[in-house]
């Protein structure tokens, strides 16, 4: 089942960085792990981003033999609940 998340997108535009949230759809069965990611907040504060006080998570996604990590908007608990709602039969380990 596809789940919509908001991915943190950081684009380097010369001397300035453009920071935005973009919609992304991921397959809930491809999610390997979700952890709170506080490390991005100090970067967002330095960049004077409007997102500097928001919660973000690091989501690891299996892409057929390799994994990809994305920074997603929301806490790990919020994202877990969102994914769990769309695929109630599928469960992450140790929940």
pLDDT, tens digit only, all 95 positions of the chain: 899 999 999 999 888 889 999 999 999 989 999 999 999 999 999 999 999 999 999 999 998 889 999 999 999 999 999 988 876 665 555 54
How far is residue 44 from each of residues 9, 13, 18, 47, measured CA to CA in Å? 12, 16, 11, 5
For the whole model, what pTM was predicted? 0.82
Tokens of 37: 């990611």
From 30, 37, 84, 81, select the one nearest 58 (Cα to Cα): 37
Q: 3-state class of 42 per DSSP? A: helix
Domain boundaries, the chain: 2-86
């Amino acid at each position: 089942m596809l789940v919509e998340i908001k991915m943190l997108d950081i684009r380097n535009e010369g001397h300035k960085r453009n920071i935005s949230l973009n919609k992304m759809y991921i397959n809930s069965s491809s999610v390997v792990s979700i952890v709170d990611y506080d490390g991005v907040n100090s970067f967002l504060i330095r960049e004077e981003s409007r997102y500097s006080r928001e919660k973000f998570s690091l989501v690891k996604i299996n892409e057929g033999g390799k994994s990809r990590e994305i920074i997603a908007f929301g806490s790990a608990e919020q994202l877990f609940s969102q994914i769990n709602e769309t695929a109630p039969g599928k469960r992450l380990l140790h929940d």
